Amino acid sequence: MKWKDQLSEMQLDVLKEIGNIGAGNAATALSNMIEKNVGIEVPKVHVVDLSEIYRVFSSPEEISASTVVPIKGEAPGKMLMIFNSESAKKLISFLIGQKPENLTELDEMQSSVLKEIGNIMCSSYIIALSNFTSLFMETDVPMLVVDMLGAVIAETSILASEEYDDVIMVENILKIKDSKDINGFLTMFPQHGSLEKIFSKLGIS
């Protein structure tokens, strides 16, 4: 099955609007963390075939930093926040003042910074979803994965590939003063029935 065949334009618009609210909350939290004003463009929602997901990224061989956040509650699943190498290094430098040379050699503090930023992005979206639907949803302990982008996507997409041949991605563009834009992709892996519950609560099933 494919999400693109299951989701209507209205449902995608709702996911986008919820993403917009979640992004606003995330921007506030990140601004407080890095002590710089952070803006996030209205997120774009993509439904991408697993076989073509690498086209979303400029280089699937590039090392990336991805935070995997399990979702517990009435609409369980997992979310994945992906930053490419340069974006991850910039985020670390904003918080601790030093830009690492190699993501595969991060120390504990640098890893914690990326894990927390990814957790904030995912949690903000989940909180917005929960508030919109009145469904009980909460995040579990996040995990940071540093690996080639293609390998991360291939491993995590197994969560969806048993039932669906595509994946829902929410693109976020972080705008930080005196810095180039930082792109991050929030990837959704809802368990069977989770999205149906969400849309049913919103009255657009």
pLDDT in tens, 146-169: 988 767 766 766 654 556 677 788
Residue 205: what pLDDT?
65
Domain with 101 in it: what CATH number? 3.40.1550.10
* Residue-number span of the structural domain to which 73 is assigned: 3-202
Using DSSP's 3-state secondary structure scheme, residue 21 falls into helix
The rounded mean pLDDT for the chain is 83
DSSP state letter for 45? E
Half-sphere exposure of 95 (CA within 13 A, CB side): 20
Residue 97 has pLDDT above 90, yes or no: no
Token pair listed for 151? 């390998």
In this structure, are strands 38-40 and 166-176 parallel, antiparallel, or unpaired?
antiparallel
Looking at the structure of the chain, the number of domains it has is 1
How many whole angstroms separate alpha carbon 143 and alpha carbon 115? 7
* Predicted local confidence at residue 54, as pLDDT: 66
| pLDDT reading at 58 higher than 60 | yes
**pTM for the complete prediction?**
0.85
Query: Where is average pLDDT lowest: 56-60, 89-93, 125-129?
Result: 56-60
Task: Give the pLDDT of residue 72.
Answer: 92
Q: Name the least confident of 36-50, 51-65, 103-117.
A: 51-65
